[in-house]
Amino acid sequence: MKKTVSLTLATLVATAVIGCATTMAPTSMRGADVMTADKAPALKQYSEKTPGVGTPQLIARNYPTQPPMVPHNIEKYVPLTVEENACMDCHQTEEIRGQKIPQIGVSHYSKTVKAKDGKPVLEMSRFQCDSCHVPQADAPPLVESRFVGLSK
């Protein structure tokens, strides 16, 4: 007898829950109907800044050890090839047009290999600069964020 009552109750509750779920239309967080195909977002333009021209603009880092983001345009320098790494032409040099260039850190140099003239040699795992350092477009975040990174 007890079993029948609980079974009936369970069936009633289940019917109510499923019933509600099927009558409530899902609300989409992206503001469009669920069945509507996604629209590709507008193409964003990467920074047009030529490195070393105008005021230097370093982008604040979000956490220690983050690969700094590239504050200038890199279109002329990619893709990097075995024969040519234009990033190295500048980032191993002190300055360009009288402006200081941020140097690659010691972490980027081989700990075991040195060039014949004793100069440090780039660690090959760091050769593909743009796998870690990426240029930025002026794209506002899709949702509000109050995250504050490092001030440096």
Site residues, ligand HEC (CB under 6 A): 49, 51-52, 56, 58, 65, 67-68, 70-72, 74, 77-78, 85-91, 96, 99, 101-102, 104-105, 107-108, 122, 126-133
Question: Which residue's CB is nearer to ligand HEC, number 22 or number 65?
Answer: 65
C-alpha torsion sign, points 22, 27, 30, 35: positive
Question: Which residue's CB is nearer to ligand HEC, number 29 or number 124?
Answer: 124
**Least distance to ligand HEC from the beta carbon of 31, Å?**
36
DSSP 15-65: HHHHHHHHHSPPPPTTSS-TTSPPPPPPPPPBP-PPTTSSS--PPPPSSTT
**Least distance to ligand HEC from the beta carbon of 118, Å?**
20
**Least distance to ligand HEC from the beta carbon of 150, Å?**
11
Question: Which residue's CB is nearer to ligand HEC, number 33 or number 89?
Answer: 89
**Least distance to ligand HEC from the beta carbon of 152, Å?**
9
CA-to-CA separations, 115 to 8, 48, 88, 119, 121, in angstroms, rounded: 83, 35, 15, 5, 6
Question: Which residue's CB is nearer to ligand HEC, number 15 or number 131?
Answer: 131
CA-to-CA separations, 84 to 4, 64, 113, in angstroms, rounded: 80, 30, 20
